């Protein structure tokens, strides 16, 4: 093997490694079910609508405004409407567009949402404010000091 061949092989392996990392970790990270990004006190969650809701379970905190950004990735009639009965929301979702649904959940609990025909179903879980779930487990957790 010449030096050039070794360099090319190493670069190739590096490229493959990057692609694997990108698909395995980078992509899944942005698709974590129920991932909530809080911007200016508004809890934002992206939901893809395609034969169902992804994620189909959304966890937010009570007493803080929620903005659900529904991207409807299909034209199927079934998903053209999303209904949150508990919050008095009935929203049309134009195909291939992102539509925001906003409200402030005041009481902790579980609030189902659905399409206009009651076929596609999702669940909004409202947790008590201040009961913050850790984004990642504490690094100190594995160190038991007795």
Chain residues in the site for Cu ion (CB under 5 A): 78, 115, 117, 119
| Residues ≥6 apart with Cβ < 8 Å to 4 | none
Select 94 or 109, whichever has its Cβ closest to Cu ion: 94
Select 64 or 81, whichever has its Cβ closest to Cu ion: 81
- Is residue 113 within 8 A of residue 101, CB to CB? The reply is no
What is the full DSSP assignment across 20-72? HHIIIIIHHHHT-TT--EEETTEEEEEEEESSSEESSEEEEETTS-EEEEEEE
Quote the least distance from Cβ 78 to Cu ion, whole Å: 3
Select 9 or 90, whichever has its Cβ closest to Cu ion: 90
Quote the least distance from Cβ 53 to Cu ion, whole Å: 11
Quote the least distance from Cβ 118 to Cu ion, whole Å: 7
Three-state secondary structure call for residue 78: helix
11 membership: H or E segment, kind and range: helix 3-21
Quote the least distance from Cβ 116 to Cu ion, whole Å: 6
Select 117 or 129, whichever has its Cβ closest to Cu ion: 117
């Amino acid at each position: 093997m010449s030096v050039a061949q070794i360099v090319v092989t190493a670069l190739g392996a590096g490229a493959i490694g990057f692609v694997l990392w990108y698909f395995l970790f980078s992509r899944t990270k942005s698709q974590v079910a129920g991932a909530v990004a809080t911007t200016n006190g508004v809890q934002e969650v992206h939901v893809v609508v395609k034969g169902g809701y992804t994620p189909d379970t959304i966890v937010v905190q009570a007493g803080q405004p929620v903005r659900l950004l529904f991207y409807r990735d299909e034209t199927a009639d079934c998903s053209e409407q999303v209904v949150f009965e508990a919050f008095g929301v009935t929203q049309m979702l134009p195909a291939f567009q992102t539509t925001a649904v906003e409200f402030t959940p005041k009481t902790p609990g579980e609030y189902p949402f659905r399409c206009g025909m009651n076929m596609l179903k999702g669940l909004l879980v409202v947790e008590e404010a201040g009961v913050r779930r850790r984004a990642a487990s504490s690094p100190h957790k594995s160190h038991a000091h007795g």
